[in-house]
Amino acid sequence: MKFPILIIFIFSSFLSVAHDNKGRAHYLGNEGVMVSQSGVKVLFDPFFHNSYGHYTLVPEKLRQAIFDNKAPYDNVSAIFISHAHGDHFDKNDVLKYLQKNQTVKLFAPAQAVEMIKNLKGYKEVKDRVTAVHLKKGEAPKHFSIKDIDIEVVRIPHAGWPKRAEIENMVFRVKVGGSTVVMHMGDADSDVSHYYEQQFFWPKQTTDMAFPPYWLSLSASGKHVLNKVINAKKIIGVHVPTTVPPDLKASGDDFFSKPGETRDIE
């Protein structure tokens, strides 16, 4: 009888370890997401103060926990900023966080980095800041830091070509050597933008993508999500505080309440 008990114990232990090693996405607010895998953590668009009257801010208690390096938001390795708009990026908060957490690295569009450069204290953190400058249609850029592999392409901001000057970056990031996520910022839904990067999407399968919710509401956007970007799972972000009925009817999953989590298979 000892052997079956031992087998059950080993199997239970295996399940526990497997669960601990599972990737997880933690929703912060608007397009703010933390992804964790095997103890490696990254933040996307975590600091901003402008809701424009429609979008979800990061609750103050959650925001303070991030600044204070409290679990589960402790020991973050990198921050990624999609673009320099007030509902995605606050230059003062980003600098403050980098000053308080002195091993964290920042990857952001050159437009956002230029804004931080003007602040007192930037010299203290500049060696941990990577400014990404890409033109529309330009070949992707690649970066690596410990346990994190990063690929970046520029996809125009929604409303293109009226907002053609905005550097909106799509980050595809492998975390902890296994979990691949994609944060798309405010990407436009026109499929032609994605075809300009036709060799990028099939190169790496994404386990979970975080597109702006409007890609779920048009035929072109749905085609991008289901046929182009090579993602197993879609979680919409940038969802208004009043969730659009069309989004609920789309069948796509989405984040709308800060503190929500999703396991990444």
Q: Give residue 19's pLDDT band: very low, low, confident or very high (50, 70, 90).
A: very low
* Residue 72 belongs to some domain of the structure: yes
Q: Domains in the chain: how many in total?
A: 1
pLDDT in tens, 66-85: 999 999 999 999 999 999 99
pLDDT value at position 21?
61
Phi-psi region of 159 (alpha: psi -120 to 50; beta: other; left: phi over 0): left
Give the range of the structural domain holding residue 102, as residue numbers without chain letter. Answer: 37-256
* Whether the predicted pLDDT of 13 surpasses 70: no
CA dist 248 and 236 (Å) reads 11
**Could you tell me if 22 and 265 are in contact, meaning their C-beta atoms sit under 8 angstroms apart?**
yes
pLDDT in tens, 58-71: 999 999 999 999 99
For the residues 85-95, what does the mean pLDDT come to?
98
Between the CA of residue 10 and those of 14, 77, 211, 244, what are the distances in Å? 6, 32, 39, 47
Stretch among 3-12, 111-120, 181-190, 201-210 having the lowest mean pLDDT: 3-12
* Residue 155 belongs to some domain of the structure: yes
Q: Please tell me whether residue 249 adopts helix, strand or coil conformation.
A: helix
Residue 139 in tokens: 């070949």
Task: Give the rounded percent of residues in the chain with a pLDDT score beyond 90.
Answer: 90
**Could you tell me if 178 and 165 are in contact, meaning their C-beta atoms sit under 8 angstroms apart?**
no
For the residues 133-152, what does the mean pLDDT come to?
96
* Residue 50 belongs to some domain of the structure: yes
pLDDT value at position 10?
40
* Whether the predicted pLDDT of 11 surpasses 90: no
**Could you tell me if 194 and 229 are in contact, meaning their C-beta atoms sit under 8 angstroms apart?**
yes
pLDDT in tens, 211-263: 999 999 999 999 999 999 999 999 999 999 999 999 999 999 999 999 999 99
pLDDT value at position 7?
43
For the residues 192-208, what does the mean pLDDT come to?
97
- The mean pLDDT of the chain is 92
* Residue 261 belongs to some domain of the structure: no
For the residues 172-184, what does the mean pLDDT come to?
96
Total-model pTM: 0.92
CA dist 116 and 143 (Å) reads 21
The helix (H) or strand (E) run that includes residue 209 is strand 206-210
* Residue 264 belongs to some domain of the structure: no
* Residue 2 belongs to some domain of the structure: no
* Whether the predicted pLDDT of 4 surpasses 70: no
* Whether the predicted pLDDT of 144 surpasses 90: yes
Q: Please tell me whether residue 216 adopts helix, strand or coil conformation.
A: helix
Residues 6 or more apart whose Cβ sits within 8 Å of residue 219: none
CA dist 112 and 15 (Å) reads 43
* Residue 21 belongs to some domain of the structure: no
What CATH number should be reported for the domain holding residue 92? 3.60.15.10
Per DSSP, 134 falls in state -
Residue 66 in tokens: 């991030």
Residue whose structure tokens are 């990026």: 89
Strand boundaries in 1-147, DSSP class E: 23-29, 32-37, 40-44, 76-80, 105-109, 129-132, 141-145
